[in-house]
Amino acid sequence: MKAITYTQYGLPDVLTLQDVPKPAPKDGEVLIKIHAASVNALDWHLLTADIFLARFSEGLFKPKRNRLGADLAGRVEAVGSGVTQFQSGDAVYGDIEPYGSGAFAEYAVLPAKALAPKPPSLTFAEAAALPIAGLTALQGLRDVGKLHAGQRVLINGASGGVGTFAVQIAKAFGARVTAVCSTRNVAQAQALGADHVIDYTKENFTQSGEQYDLIFAANGYHPLAAYKRALAPGGVYVMAGGKTKQIFDVMLWGWWHSRGGDKKLTNVMAHASTPDMLVLNELVATGKLKPVIDRRYPLHQTADALRYLGEGHARGKIVIDVYESEQR
């Protein structure tokens, strides 16, 4: 089968399309014929090793795993012994990353427990956009941010993969949502349901005097003190992504800024969860959640997809089309 591989850290030029053995499912596993995969910031970090500390787990001088891609959607081709919830031909989606990357390929094997049925209303491309970004938004808002109806929620980076999900999920939970994005994405944020949109090229929300019960940062950068200033009493700041400095600021100093008061500054580390994917499915089924896809690339142009991701201006998700014989 064809798969994207890499043997050294670097920019997308180090990626190659290779023939690799087709995997076979073991007990409890499912073989998926991949129709679509999606690109995440995780893929960029694994490829470039720009977060140096990650090298201690992923390989100090070269990658331990030579495959990329976490989110996938496709059809079950075969099942291992003991698998009863899926059968050949079922349309499914999931996150392979906890079991080893490799979604940028024609086939993948992963445990049946890591999969969820593909929502019938979504294409394979749309379903592939769901797992990491959708789970990050859901778990960051609901579990870390303790989101509830009526809260004032600000989404910084509302036009990216995670941000577009966060706006919709916050609205679905009954929040009053302020979206922060660039000029070209204002209309998109409004269409997703944001009650108010701030164009960051014209206004710095941390200096406006407005305060929010929950700030969810999916992109960009502001100092922690600025985020804290924009939190209402008892408010929570949740970092879900952004520039490397933003990621490290909260991991290193969030506890310091949270001490001695009722404001909390923390981060979300999303985890694969079939029950939570079923929550996403329900939001999709009720019309409250719809993946936003910016660009699509064929498998052999995965390097181009990652270059575009690296530019930092994607409007929604970037999808890799692997097998396009059918849309749903």
Whole-model pTM? 0.93
Question: Is the pLDDT at 319 greater than 70, yes or no?
Answer: yes
Q: Which residue has the higher pLDDT, 60 or 213?
A: 213
Q: Is the pLDDT of residue 287 over 80?
A: yes
Rounded to whole angstroms, the Cα distance separating 17 from 5 reads 6
Q: What class is the 133-267 domain?
A: alpha beta
Q: Report how far residue 5's alpha carbon sits from residue 94's, in angstroms, rounded to the nearest whole number.
A: 20
Q: What distance in Å separates the CA atoms of residue 192 and residue 225, rounded to the nearest whole number?
A: 29
- 94: CB partners within 8 A, 6+ apart: 71, 72, 110, 114, 115, 116, 131, 272, 274, 277
Where is 231: in which H helix or E strand? strand 231-239
At 8-21, the pLDDT tens digits run 999 999 999 999 99
Dihedral through CA 216, CA 217, CA 222, CA 228, nearest 10?
A: 20
Contacts of residue 53, defined as CB under 8 A and 6 or more positions apart, other chains included, come to none
Find the mean pLDDT for residues 16-29. Answer: 96
Average pLDDT, integer, range 165-183: 98
178-203 mean pLDDT? 97
In this predicted structure, what is the pLDDT of residue 243?
66
Assign 53 a pLDDT band (cuts: 50, 70, 90).
Answer: low
pLDDT in tens, 100-151: 879 999 999 999 999 999 999 999 999 999 999 999 999 999 999 999 999 9
Task: Tell me how far apart the alpha carbons of residues 244 and 241 are, in angstroms, rounded to a whole number.
Answer: 8
Q: Which helix (H) or strand (E) holds 238?
A: strand 231-239
Q: Is the pLDDT confidence value at 174 over 70? A: yes
Give tens-digit pLDDT for 180-189.
Answer: 999 999 999 9
CATH 3.40.50.170 given to domain 2-130+291-321: no
Give the range among 74-83, 123-132, 246-255 with minimum mean pLDDT: 246-255
- Residue ranges per structural domain of the chain: 2-130+291-321, 133-267
Predicted confidence (pLDDT) at residue 208 exceeds the cutoff of 90: yes
> Can you tell me the distance from the alpha carbon of 121 to that of 5, in angstroms, rounded to the nearest whole number?
32
Cα 137 to Cα 114: distance, rounded to the nearest angstrom = 18
